[in-house]
Amino acid sequence: MSTSTTASVSTHILDTSAGRPAGGVAVRLSARAGRDADWRELGGSATDADGRCKDLPAPPEGTTHVRLDFAVEPYFEKKQADAQQDAPANRDSGAVFFPEVAITFAVTPGEHYHVPLLLNPFGYSVYRGS
């Protein structure tokens, strides 16, 4: 939850190739105070069955930039393994094009930032949600 001196962050992932939420994706949150400052990893969580990650740590007072790191490779590897089990004749090359997605954005104290990730095996898009 944001306060007048801190921001708050939440996210969710939609797998647009499947038309459903992407559950079980690890998400790490890092923050820095100023564009030239070092990143400080604050912790993380994983998306739930609805693709939401509601329990990310709050950035500390003075945070100006936040980075969300999404570990999408294990999600796609599991998805490929499940598909191969269902249809062994339909095997792909197995390579994951985007093994991780890192999103960096500026924050203002007192604001909440919901940053959805729209994901598919060969592309992604993000936006500031509500």
């998306």: which residue's tokens? 47
pTM of the predicted protein model: 0.87
Residue-wise pLDDT tens digits, 12-36: 999 999 999 999 999 999 999 999 9
- Kindly state the percentage of the chain with pLDDT values over 70: 90
Residue-wise pLDDT tens digits, 32-67: 999 999 999 999 999 999 999 989 999 999 999 999
SS3 of residue 47 by DSSP: coil
Q: What is the pLDDT confidence band of residue 85, given thresholds at 50, 70 and 90?
A: low
Q: How many CB atoms lie within 10 A of CB 45?
A: 17
